[in-house]
Structures are given as structure tokens and as C-alpha cells.
Chains A and B, each alone.
Chain A
Amino acid sequence: MHFDLFFTVLLAGGISAGLYGFLPISLILTYRISRTIAFVHGGIAALGAILYWIFSLHNDFLPNYIITFSQAQDPKTFGHRPKWEPFPSMLAVVAIGAILAGTYGFIVMSRQLASLTVLTLTIVSLGAMMGMVGVSSLMNVDANVFPDSPFGSGRHKLLPESMTSHQPLLITNNQIFTFLTVVGLSLVLAVFLTRTHTGLVIRALADDQEAGVWCGVKLRAVGTLVYGVSGAIAALAGVLTSITVGANPADMLVFLLDGLAIAIVGGLRSLPLSLIGALLYGLTETALKVGFFGEVSLPVQAVVLYGALLSIIVVVARLRRDTFFLLERQSL
């Protein structure tokens, strides 16, 4: 093992783990309130990535990007709009994500639909996600061109070259922002959930949704709020991914599944545990990429990464003494 890369791995990996922390937060918040895995956030992340790209990189009107319907139309007659600045674009996308997710939550938490089975709700969520990803892939964006970050393109040296085996370790503004946001978000959420009445209501609903309704909780309002916030977080994750690796809807799906795996480290209920999972995932991935373990081919990297993730999950499951297989209530 190349220990001279230790600090590189620690810092770069830790910071890159920030991006992996977003979707688990969304998934855990909505799981607690509805006992279903809100796959829909994957769709929102995908849309977020695409929309950010379109807002900030193109100066034509939206319909032109749905080639299917506009093949017969002359692009020039649609007129132009100025490109939007990255920061407002990000805000717009996050707002759209919040609204879409909030609407989804509003519909799904209505009196009629909240009584559907967990299986049906999960399927609806999955279907909504696939639909959004499908719509996203209809839009023609160049996945090789990355949009600009709202935080400028500044790069900073984190550590002196002596500590990082003579390769400069540069951190972009974007990565710093990502990391700080995840940490800040977690803290805010923790305080919110334990200190406010609405937070208490959310925790109660996580225990027993029906009993909450019978106590007079406005389920729909709380549900919409939680979904809206989670959707905003998912959209933000989409934006940040679009900046770092490009806007490819299918990649978003992979990103969601990775996020789900990380959320499962926390048993879908514990935010701190899953953030630790995100951290370990980021560290392992970075370690493999920069050659901490020596030259490792791509296939082996994948095996090691997912093997590590799985081992973490199993260890945590055992530590939390998750119920004996036969006795646990079947969830799906």
C-alpha cells in the first residue's frame, strides 16, 4: 500500500464523499415518513442534472431539445434566450425539484392513496422515476460538456506537496461547497428532528403513520413538506453531479442505486450511520482510483468497492442486531 498517498486519500476521498451523502438523506427522510423507498428522487436527480445543463449551457428555448417532436421545426424560428448564470440556474433547478417532489408527496399522501400497500407505493415510486428518467433521456444534451459550477472554478491547494507525494492535491470550489452543504444539512436536520414539534411529528409518523393521523396530524401537509425538502436535496445532487461527471440520465440511476446502498448501511433509518457509509464509500473509491492499493484494474476496483460496501452493511446489520430472519416482518 502506498502510504504516501494516505493524506490524499483521506482528504480527497472525504470531500468527494460529500456528493454521495445527498441522496441517502433524501431516501432516509422519505423512508421514515412513508416506509417506502422513494425511487422518485432518482428521477428528480436526473431531471435536475438535465435542467441545470439546459438552463446554463444553452441559449435556445426548451422545446428544441425534445428532438422527437421538433424534427420538422426550424430551430432558428424559435428565437433565443440568454444563457442563465449558474447560480440562479441552480436555485431554479432546486426549486423545481422541490415543487415536483412536493407535488408527488401531496398526491401520494392523500387520504386515499396513503392507504395503499407498501408494495404498490414502491412500484408507483419506481414508475415515476423511470418516467422522469425517460423524459430526461428524450432531451438532447451533450453529456461530454460539463456545465459551470455556481461557485466559480477556483482551485485550492489543500496540502503541501511534501505530504502528497509531490502531486498537487487540488480541491475545487465545488467540492468544498458540496462537502460543507452535506455536513450543514445533516446538522440542520438533526436539530430540526429533535427540537421542533414538526420534527417530533415526523419521528412519530416514522413509528406509526396511521396512529399519527388519529392523533390529529396533518399527514398531507407534513408529507408534502418532507417530500419537498427531499426533492430539493435530490435536485441539488443532480446539479452537482452534472457539474462533476456530466448530465447523463442513466448515470443518475446508477447514482441513485449507489445512494440506496449507502442508505441501507444506516438501515434506511439512521442518518449518521449512512453518512459514515458515504464517507467510507468515498474513501474506498478514491483509494482505489489514486493507486493507494497499487495498480488495480477497473474490474477489480468495482469488485472491491461493492464488496466493501456490502461488508459494511452486513457488519452494521449485525451490530444493530437486526432481527433474526424468520421473525422479521416481510416488508415487500
Chain B
Amino acid sequence: MISLPTLNRVEGARTNSRPVIRAMSSPGALGFLLIILTFPMWRPTYMVFTANAALPIAITALGLLVLVGWTREISLATSGMFVSAAYFDGWLNRPHPGGHSWPWVVTALVVVLSSAGVMALVALSSAKLPGIYLVVLTYGLQVVIEKTVFTYGYLSGGLGGGDENGNIVVNRRPQFFGLNLSTQATHRWFGHTITQESIFYFFSLGWLAIVLVLIVRLRRSPMGLGFLLVGADRQAAAAIGVNPLRFRIYAFATSGLLAGVGGVLVNWLYVNPPAFANYFSPYSLVLLSIPVLAGLDSIAFIVLVAAMFEIVPVQLESLRISPFLLASVGLLGGAVFGSRGMGGRAHDIWRYVMYGDRITRTQRERVDTAVLRSSAGVSGEGMDKLTPEQRTHALSVLEAWLPPRTETTYAAKADNISVHFGSIKALDGASIVVPTQQMVGLLGPNGAGKTTLFDVISGVRPPNSGTVSLFDKDVTRMHAWDRSKLGMARTFQTTRVMTDLTVGDNLVAGAYQRIKAHPALFLAGVPSAWRQMRAAEEAAFAAAQLLDIDRYWNERCGTLEFSARRRTEIGRCLLAGPRLLLLDEPAAGLDPASSVALFTLLKQIHEDLGLTVLLVEHYVKAVLDSCDLVYVLAEGKVLARGTAAEVTANAEVRERYLGTRMKYNAPSIVAEEVGLSGNGATGKHAGSAAAEEQASVTR
């Protein structure tokens, strides 16, 4: 990496509660703005016309950003929808026999909403099928459009530019609140003649600006984070209350809507309807390549790349660059830039210049390697990094965020659960109860059914028989995302954070179901809605402080080490506002010091916030030392249940599971007295207990 000078600024925790202002304040955006606004003054008219043609494409591409970039779905029908919107708008706008015609506002609305509706229907009809089937479905839609809409002369102008009566189809530009946009009029402004194309340019720019503001607001709102979560990992999304099926439909509807807007603009732009020959299915692939090249989360670059796709062929006319070659360049370029595209790389470089490299940005380094080698009495993971006041404050913020403590006796109950995969019985009549405000552990080998039981309780997998109830409510038939609303959240065995997003975004995404404001309010910029967002951010920051990942707030999760990602996932669950936390092997893959620290932390959070915790673990000692109630599963059935002492005393458990190497009398590694003083002393005790043991052995 070439050595760029850093300006050594300190990067404060970024907040998204005023998204448009934040987006506008980046230098890229300002420079952009300057170029865009002055464009007509220093380029010839035909270039302005090309730019006019590019703007609707940019708007359509923004719709694809939501669909392809955020939600990771594919549509091959975008080209057909886009140009159909143009055709239908033109048709509705033209005076019909009898003389009357619809006002342009009405036709525009009808076209845009129908476009959104069609795409939503397409998504709905593929409800539970994997994404690959949607590729075929949208392709089918594209072909149907080509065979119908493109062939009707009164819509597309037909092959000879004529409708069914042989008349050439001509569009009219609307009278936009007194502003005459038609191609014949000319304007004078301070003595200069302003061409019609320039007027239309600023008109289109206005629409693009509106769309941009809405998209930026969408991205920063809970709904945007919901899209990203569904795109990254459907199961994780469901686990915190995001309904992936519904979001898929929303994403398709949004792309349809924006394709409609683009189409309406195109219709106003051209005198005759655009030639359909340019909009066959290959063009859908060209459009698809725009978000790929620009980056799956880069709003500004989408506009840039879309503009380039239109302008470059015109500039380099002599080379006869076909859309295929453009798409080819776009896609191969996108492969080079990676999933974050040009925009992502540019953003990385900018941060590097402003704030330095990652080490510099995240000043406090983990003090961990030392634990293994020296006995400096260093504790586990930074539990003592927070001052007592900070800790109490963070706890209170998070407590305020969480829902009130439940009064029911049992947080969860699974009764006589059976699950089979073909002939294999994963669970065979297993029953467990999770009493409120207790920490319950599930032990047992794989194939015993622990993760399957988890999946059943959390709603990811329906049982073949048996019932599940959460907080005394029967949820056996309920979807995962609905169970989450009752107060449950879970982590997964393979840590599933959104690697391309920052820790901050990941944590706040967890708050999706707790933010009650309607998405439309966020889009409209209503302050009360964004205040709720701010509250979520503060709760997320408090959780980050408690989990010792606050210094990684602006870092992308993909760059963090494993234990930090694990803690981010747990934090995300906390933000979902659960009263029952399901943890799937929280200590898997951690070294002893980190495992101990994590369990101490979990125990602490469990006590301080009154959470009920159900966990699956292989780290037997940690479970026995920290859980109030322990179940041992084997071959799909409950082998034993009781307190740690009862379970280890069980002869069958010893023989079938624990084996002979278990040291039953070793001191507890998880501190038993977890005080509320919040001075971090407990963490120190846990770590130093182990350190003392090790010191005593070596002496």
C-alpha cells in the first residue's frame, strides 16, 4: 500500500441520525455537486442531452442498489419494466379520441405505482423459493414484456415508429407548474439563452436529488439496515425480528418503483418513444452490472457509473462501444474491486488519508497474548477498561432500552419435541424448560440434537411433533421473526455479522424491531422518528462499551478478529431487546482467557439486566460453573437435568458423555460472586484466579 499522508484526525463514533447532512458533507459529494450543477455551462448541448438520458438510468440503478446491492437478489426484468413505464406513460399522456387526456401527475403516479406493484407480485409469487428461481421468474417477465409491450405500436411506436393507425407517435412534455418544458420553448436568463436541454437537465436533476435524499434516508433508517441484514444472512435476520420474505417483496417493489420513475422521466425526455431494440434482456444484464461495479453500498458511485455508461459510448463514438462491452468492463471491473466496488475502495482510501490505518484508528489494543506468557496479573478482556461510572451509565442506558422484566415463571418451554430428517431422528421426545432469569446450559455431543433443539425453539425449524412456548405463549406455529417480537434473540454457531458493515451498523441493525416509527416517517425526515434512531444508537454504543468493542464502532466487521465479531453478534442480539437470549456455542473458537472473560461477562449481563440465558456449549467446565440449570442431551433425548453438581454426579452422564478426564473438583473459573458494584473487579477476579493457579503450579 503506498504511503499516504494521514491527517491524524480522531475519528469519532459516527452517528446516522442526520443522514442527508452527513452524506452531503463528504468531499466527494461536494465536488460532485459542483460538477453536476455547472455541467451545462461547459459542455455542448448534445452532451447535455446525453446526460439527460443518463439521469433516468441513474434513478433506475438506485432501485437496483436496493435490490441487488442491499438485499442480494437478482432481477432480469429491469430493462423491460423501465422502458414499459416509459411507453405506458406516453400512451396515457397522449390525447385520446374524444379529445381528453389525463393530467400528467395522475399518469405518472399510476405508472410508477403499477410498476412497483408488478415487481412486488413477482416477488410474492416466488414466496419461499430460493433466489435462483427469481432469476428465471424475472427473466420470464422480461420475455413476456418483449413479446407484448414491445410489439404494440401504440405503446412502443412499433418498428416503423407508427401506431396502429400508422401515425408517428409523438410525446409531449408536461407543463410543470408553469414551467414550460416543451422542446420548442426557449428561455432567457440574464441575457443568456438557455437551451431547452439545459432546462430539462435541471428538472431531471431535481428528481434525482429527491430520489437521492430518499435513498440516503432509507439506507440509514432501520428499514435500510433490515434490507442489508436480509441480504447478508436470512436466518440471522429472522432471529432479530426481520421478516426476510416481506423484505424481499419490499426490495422488488422499490426497484420497480424507481424503474417506473426513470421510465416516466425518459418518456418526458424523448420526442418519440425510445426504440425498444435497445431494451431487450441483455440490457437488463447491463443495468445489473452498474451496482456491481459501483459497489453494493455506494450511493454516489451508482450515479457516477450510470452516467459513465451513458456518456462514454457517446464520447468514444468512433469505437462503437456496444452496451455489452460496457457491461463486460463493468462486471470485470467489479470483480477486481470486490464486493464493495469502486465506491467502497474510494471510501477506504479516504478514511486512510483522514484518520490513519486501522491500528491508529482503534488505539486501544487488546491485551491478551500476555495472559498466556506472563503472569502480570492482567485480567481477561478489558473488563477494567470502563470506569465504574461509565459502566453504570452504560448499564442504565441498556436497561432502559430493554423491555420490562417478565413476570412469567418460564421464559421458554419445549415439550416432547421430535424432529426427523428422513430416517435420522435428530430429536426424539426431548423436553426442556427455561425458568425466567436463570442461566440454562445444554450439553451433549453433536448428533445429540442441541442445535436442532435451538433451531426449534427459535423458530428456524418446525418440529415434526411437540410444542414450544415462549413466555407462556404457544409459539409452535409462529415464524422466527414473530417469536423475536415476543422477546427472544439468538446467536449462531458460525458468527454471522454483516462483514461489510461497521460494528455500529451491525449493532443498530439489531434494534430493528424495537424502533416503532413507520418507515415512511424516516423517509420524510420527521425528527421524532430520527430521534428514535438516535436512541437506538446510544443503546448500541452502551452495549458496545459493555462488550468492549466501542473502539471498533467505525470499523468493518470483516476486519476484526474473531472474538470481537462474536461479541458484536451478541451485542446485536441485545439490541433486539430480548428477555431471553439463546447463545449457540458462545465460547467456540476462543482461547481460554477470552472464553473465561466472555462467560464472566455473560453472567454479569445476565444478572445486571435480568436476562434469561439458554446456551449450547462444548466448553463443559464453563457451563457447569456458570449455569443454574444444566441439561445433557444424547441421541435426541434428555439424558439428565439438574444443577451442575447433580448432573456431574449422574453415573450415566459420566459414562456416556463426560468420560474419565473430567476434573470435578477444580475451582470455578467463573467468579461466583458477581457484584453490582460495577468496578470491574469481578472480571479481574476471574482472570487472576486462573493466573494464580498457573503461578502456583509453576513455582
Contacts and interface: CB of A to CB of B under 8 A. Distances in A.
A and B: direct contact (Cβ < 8 Å)? yes
Interface string A110-130: 000000110110011011111
Contact of B74 (A116, A302, A303, A332): A332
Contact of A326 (B235, B331, B335): B235
Given A68-B319, A330-B72, A130 B331 contact: yes
A332 B232 CA distance: 10
Interface in A269-288: none
B171 to A, nearest CB: 24
B-side binding surface: helix, strand, loop or mixed? Answer: helix
Interface in A123-153: 123-124, 126-131, 133-135, 137-138
A182 interface: no
Contact of B324 (A119, A124, A137): A137
Contacts of A327: 235, 460-461
A123 B147 contact: no
Interface stretch (B27-35, B277-285, B647-655): B277-285
B151 interface: yes
B281 A257 contact: yes
A204 interface: no
Contacts of B282: 130, 133, 250, 253
A95 interface: no
Interface in B116-147: 127-133, 135-137, 139-140, 143-144, 146-147
B590 interface: no
B136 A309 contact: yes
B136 A264 contact: yes
Contacts, number: 146
A298 B328 contact: no
A263 to B, nearest CB: 10
Nearest to A129: B328
A130 B329 CA distance: 9
Contacts of B513: none
Contacts of A254: 143, 280-281
A302 B332 contact: no
Contacts of B322: 134, 137-138
Given A120-B338, A261-B136, A299-B147, A331 B131 contact: yes
B144 A302 contact: yes
Interface string B327-341: 111111011001100
Contacts of B319: 68
B238 A127 contact: no
Contacts of A303: 144, 147-148
Contacts of A120: 335, 338-339
A322 B335 CA distance: 30
Contacts of B371: none
A-side binding surface: helix, strand, loop or mixed? Answer: helix
Nearest to A322: B130
A45 interface: no
A130 B137 contact: no
B324 A131 contact: yes
A332 B328 contact: no
Nearest to B334: A123
Given A309-B140, A317-B133, A325-B129, A138 B335 contact: no
Contact of B131 (A137, A261, A301, A332): A332
B144 A299 contact: yes
A126 B280 contact: no
Interface in A281-332: 298-299, 301-303, 306-307, 309-310, 313-314, 317, 322-328, 330-332
Contacts of A326: 234-235, 238, 244, 460, 480
Name which of B127, B245, B328, B329 has the most chain A CB atoms within 10 A of its CB: B328
A313 B126 CA distance: 11
A105 to B, nearest CB: 16
A331 B144 CA distance: 27
Contacts of B461: 324, 327
Contacts of A116: 335
A72 B285 CA distance: 33
B208 interface: no
Contacts of B131: 330-332
A258 B101 CA distance: 40
Interface string B319-358: 1101011011111101100110000000000000000000
Given A133-B324, A306-B143, A299 B151 contact: yes
Nearest to A318: B129
B132 A302 contact: no
B76 interface: yes
B69 to A, nearest CB: 12
9 contacts: A68-B318, A126-B289, A128-B332, A133-B324, A257-B76, A303-B147, A303-B148, A322-B130, A326-B234
Interface of A: 68, 116-117, 119-120, 123-124, 126-131, 133-135, 137-138, 249-250, 253-254, 257, 260-261, 264, 268, 298-299, 301-303, 306-307, 309-310, 313-314, 317, 322-328, 330-332
Listed from nearest, the 4 A-B pairs whose CB atoms lie closest are A127-B331, A134-B324, A131-B328, A306-B140
Given A299-B147, A324-B128, 20 more contacts: A123-B334, A126-B327, A127-B289, A129-B328, A134-B328, A135-B325, A260-B135, A264-B133, A264-B135, A264-B136, A268-B132, A306-B140, A307-B140, A310-B140, A326-B235, A326-B238, A326-B244, A327-B235, A328-B130, A330-B131
